[in-house]
């Protein structure tokens, strides 16, 4: 049986994670979820064949998690990750900060259009209300745009994606390169989006073949 101290701290850590409900509107954890306290029971942990016991002893982790909600423009936002771990003290009364492994997600607009993103790592900051992703970052849209960049930031409470660090990609017009890319609600139409490339923009036009 796990130590009583570990049992007592488990609901507290889970409650801290549930505070993501406030900026996102909802928090859904799917599939098999493991949440471990810092004083993990070694005997119980050994039964989990694929877990790094030493790492779990140092920090709590959730495996195969999803965060879902709706932005202020009624755009559905979902963020999935292979695993999530806390970079802030779950016992302290401070904004929650999480590290996401292989995050990927989507913005689904009421018009039926969508934008999808993925990266190697991500950091979710409750105080800043945003997720910052780095490492082989990719942004795709249902309109046929596919862009890669060094860093991508998405807001959690509104429809706002910002890509930085050099952008290269393709789209219906042809090959595109720029310094930054943004995805925001279309002016006067929150059911759609505006994808804008800015800063030293270059377009290699490729006419459609008959």
Tokens 């923009």, located at residue: 201
**Predicted pLDDT at 41:** 38
Tokens of 110: 């009421």
Identify which of 75, 99, 76, 97 has the alpha carbon closest to the alpha carbon of residue 88: 97
Positive or negative, the CA dihedral 139, 131, 20, 83 is positive
Q: How far is 177 from 199, CA to CA, in rounded Å?
A: 9
Which residues 6+ apart lie within 8 Å of 128 measured at CB? none
Residue 182 has pLDDT above 80, yes or no: yes
More confident: 27 or 181: 181
**Predicted pLDDT at 40:** 34
Identify which of 138, 24, 124 has the alpha carbon closest to the alpha carbon of residue 77: 24
**Predicted pLDDT at 64:** 75
Angle at 169 between CA 168 and CA 173, to 5 degrees: 125
Please classify residue 125 by burial: count the beta carbons closer than 10 Å to its beta carbon, then call 0-12 exposed, 13-18 middle and 19+ buried.
Answer: middle
Least confident segment among 78-82, 92-96, 159-163, 191-195: 92-96
Chain centroid to CA 179: 22
Q: How far is 3 from 9, CA to CA, in rounded Å?
A: 10
More confident: 169 or 90: 169
pLDDT in tens, 77-116: 999 999 888 776 655 567 778 899 999 999 999 999 999 9
**Predicted pLDDT at 24:** 43
Give the homologous superfamily in CATH for domain 4-205. Lipopolysaccharide (LPS) transport protein A like domain (2.60.450.10)
Q: How far is 181 from 74, CA to CA, in rounded Å?
A: 22
DSSP letter, residue 59: S
**Predicted pLDDT at 133:** 97
pLDDT in tens, 28-71: 333 323 333 333 333 333 333 344 444 544 556 677 778 888 99
Identify which of 117, 76, 75, 112 has the alpha carbon closest to the alpha carbon of residue 100: 117
pLDDT in tens, 116-147: 999 999 999 988 999 999 999 999 999 999 99
**Predicted pLDDT at 206:** 75
């Amino acid at each position: 049986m796990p130590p009583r101290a570990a049992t007592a701290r488990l609901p507290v850590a889970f409650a801290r994670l549930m505070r993501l409900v406030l900026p996102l509107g909802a928090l859904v954890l799917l599939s098999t979820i493991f949440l471990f306290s810092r004083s993990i029971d070694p005997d119980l942990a050994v039964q989990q064949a694929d877990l790094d016991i030493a790492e779990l002893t140092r920090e709590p982790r959730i495996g195969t998690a999803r965060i879902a909600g709706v932005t202020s423009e009624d755009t559905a936002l979902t963020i999935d990750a292979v695993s999530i771990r806390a970079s802030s003290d779950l016992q302290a009364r401070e904004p929650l900060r999480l590290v996401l492994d292989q995050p990927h997600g989507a913005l689904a607009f009421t018009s039926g259009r969508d934008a999808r993103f993925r990266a190697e790592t991500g950091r979710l900051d409750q105080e800043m209300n945003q997720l910052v992703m780095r490492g082989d970052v990719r942004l795709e849209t249902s309109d046929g745009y596919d862009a890669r960049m060094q860093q991508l930031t998405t807001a959690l409470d509104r429809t706002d994606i910002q890509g930085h660090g050099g952008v290269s990609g393709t789209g219906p017009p042809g090959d595109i390169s720029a310094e930054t890319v943004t995805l925001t609600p279309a002016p006067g139409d929150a059911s759609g989006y505006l994808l804008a490339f800015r800063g030293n923009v270059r377009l290699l036009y490729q006419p459609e073949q008959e």
